[in-house]
Amino acid sequence: MLLLSLPRGRADLDGCACSELPLEIIERVLSFLPVHDLCRFRSVCKEWRELLCKPSFHDLCEVNGKDDRYLFVTRDLDCDGWSVVDPVFRRTVSFLDLHDERWYAIEVGESLGGFDEDFLETQLSAMDNGLLCEMSTLRGSDDDLALTISDPVANTRMTLPAPPEIFCLGAYLPLILPSVDIVTRSYKVFLVNNPREHSRDLTRVHVYETFSNEWRGLSNPAKEFEELIAGSAVILQDVLYIVFRDIARWQFVLLSYKMQEDVWTEVRRIICPRKPRHPQLVVRGHRLFMNLWSGGTSSLLEDLSLFEMIEIMPSDNSSKTVVQLTFAQLQQMFSEQDSDFYIAYGVPRFNSKGSYSSVILMSSLSGKLITFDLTSRTVGTIPANPFIQGPSLETYPYCDMYRAKNMNLSLRNLLSYDSVASG
């Protein structure tokens, strides 16, 4: 286990045997290594640092690196429906290497504004391919909010232009979803507002695009969906997928939106259990998955008794089950008996043939991670995050809820002008 603090100095190793190798060989070998190792290697010597900062080397890493290698983990503190991102997790950005099952962390530098004097609390955070997007309350104001985008690996941050509308009244916060395009070396940020009183004619979804440095509104879903509550969203192959909760019909509805065609499509509906938890969308290996709870029957009066992970095939909107586990089985696996326990995140692992081999599951209450082998039905434990202590209950007397997302990391600084302009 290694605490990853980005190196600021250098340590020349003129006697290193690698110095005798052609630079092209060194470059190719290094391109297969994970980002956390490459960050440390920037301090080996001046030549390596220059090599590791070259855009051409970043291109090679994106070809040779493993997809969705890391699991970004954070924690929300919740009190009576009002949540903030735990400040401990803002100081230290934590990642789990899913291949090696080892933890790494980046201590957020002052230049990132981890506790910028302008910001009071962070209500939302989301991450994609190394970019961290946060929505924070401005100090001295109960209503003014700022959206920032940062790259912890490159130690850079910028404040985005103010979006036209952010709905934060009531119990339902908006969704924010950063999306990195490694081909164009650019990114988008989606803002999905949830409805409030007198908001029917306002735009639900906005997108910030780097090429214009502006927000633009997307078309709203059909009228029948205007009162639905958005709970989870992902991007897959330039298609936006959002799961909405239809309170009136006791259903969850999965919609897709094709930006090029400006078309919303209903993908599927799911019956809500009596204690509904929003289904969660996951993209892994360029495939779409959904984690959901059900009562195990079609009855609306059932509790959360069955956890299911399914894969959704966008070509025909069909699905197949990856794993099903009862609430009692999961409590035994995690050794947690609290009735509020649920799975905060689940992601499949693939074998060399592209078939499911196991799944990684995370507890919402403790952040504990386990592996579940789909063939042997055995449970393995992943080491606990060594960099994060418990929340300060004197300052934040809230209950805590963990969140996660699997993704890649990159040495490429997408927030730099040169990186965006080159796309």
| Eight-class DSSP state of 185 | T
3-class secondary structure, 158: strand
pLDDT for residue 169: 52
pLDDT for residue 34: 83
Cα separation, 218 vs 242, whole angstroms: 14
pLDDT for residue 418: 43
| Eight-class DSSP state of 379 | E
Class of domain 67-408 (CATH, top level):
mainly beta
Cα separation, 150 vs 159, whole angstroms: 9
Strand locations in 280-414, DSSP E? Answer: 280-284, 287-294, 306-313, 318-326, 343-350, 356-363, 369-373, 379-381, 399-407
- 168 in Cβ contact with 174 (< 8 Å): yes
Please list the rounded mean pLDDT of every run of 10 residues in the chain (423 residues): 40 51 81 82 79 84 77 75 70 83 76 50 79 76 74 84 73 82 86 71 83 89 79 91 85 90 90 74 91 62 73 90 91 85 89 87 90 94 79 51 84 64 36
3-class secondary structure, 231: strand
113-122 tens-digit pLDDT: 444 555 557 7
Q: Where are the domains of the chain?
A: 23-62, 67-408
Cα separation, 221 vs 224, whole angstroms: 8
Largest CA distance in the chain: 71
- 178 in Cβ contact with 192 (< 8 Å): no
pLDDT for residue 377: 94
Paired strand residues for 327: none
pLDDT for residue 295: 59
Report the side by side order of strands in the sheet with 175-181.
175-181, 186-192, 205-209, 214-217
399-416 tens-digit pLDDT: 568 888 888 888 778 777
